[in-house]
Amino acid sequence: MKTLQQLIYSNRRWAEWISARDPNFFQKLADQQNPQYLWIGCSDSRVPANEIVGLMPGELFVHRNVANVVVHTDLNCLSVIQYAVDVLKVTDIIIVGHYRCGGVKSALMREKQGLIDNWLRHVQDVMVKHERILAKIEGFTEKWDRLCELNVVEQVLNVCQTTVLQEAWERRQDVTVHGWVYGIEDGLVHDLGFSVTNQEELTAAYRNAISEERQKVVWE
């Protein structure tokens, strides 16, 4: 276990390392940030946003919560999305779930862990919505992984249905919403193939993302 003092020491070495490569790096960032992407991911310590996709400070706008859920009335997440789209003008919003997500597992097993159960109720809603798909999967791990994917699909849909995206698309702003799942066990990002660029293609893209054929493709 590292002490807090060790963390501060590590920070000093990290800042020196960056500055050695680019002496003006931090000064340039102090003036403004200009990220192209918004990452909405899980709080899980094994899924550090910037590291996974090799992006430096200033390149990724990030929102994380347990089980990467986008709730229609969550002012925190909505504000992040609104600022990213309207002010920073990001071109891509990526919902990044991950396999072996503890939050998704708790929802699947209906575990009792306190206040968090209320938050994970949103994942249980996803589970109920896709009961038919999940019922056909026998192994627990396979079912768990599939729920991780379906949860991402539903959160992509939720982002697309926010007033922020609806209005951005109405004025023909270039912003695409994507669904990815990160593999804890291999360090690789998997694109679910559910990317939405405008309102017109949303329904068909969603249907494709949850179709039976899609399910087979994922597991082959």
CA 2 vs. chain centroid, Å, equals 28
Annotated active-site residue in 63, 98, 122, 130: 98
Query: 68: buried, middle or exposed (CB in 10 Å: 19+, 13-18, 0-12)?
Result: buried
Nearer to Co ion, 51 or 138 (CB): 51
Active site residue 44: yes
Segment 98-117, which members bind Co ion (CB under 5 A)?
101, 103
Binding mask 17-56 for Co ion (x = CB under 5 A): -------------------------x-x------------
149 binds Co ion (CB under 5 A): no
For the bound state, the minimum distance from the C-beta of residue 63 to Co ion, rounded and expressed in Å, comes to: 14
Q: Which of the 8 DSSP states describes residue 196?
A: B
Q: How far is the CB of 108 from Co ion (least distance, A)?
A: 12
- Give the active site residue among 12, 21, 22, 46: 46
User: What single letter denotes the amino acid at residue 104?
Assistant: V
Residues 80, 40: Cα–Cα separation, whole Å: 9
Instruction: Name the residue among 119, 64, 183 with its Cα closest to residue 111.
Output: 119
The yes or no reply on residue 154 touching Co ion (CB under 5 A) is no
Task: Note if 42 is an active site residue.
Answer: yes
60 to each of 29, 98, 189, how far by Cα in Å? 13, 18, 16
Q: How far apart (Å, rounded) are the C-alpha atoms in residues 148 and 102?
A: 10
Residue 160 is a catalytic residue: no
Residues forming contacts to Co ion in the complex (CB under 5 A) are: 42, 44, 101, 103
Give the residue numbers marked as catalytic: 42, 44, 46, 98, 101
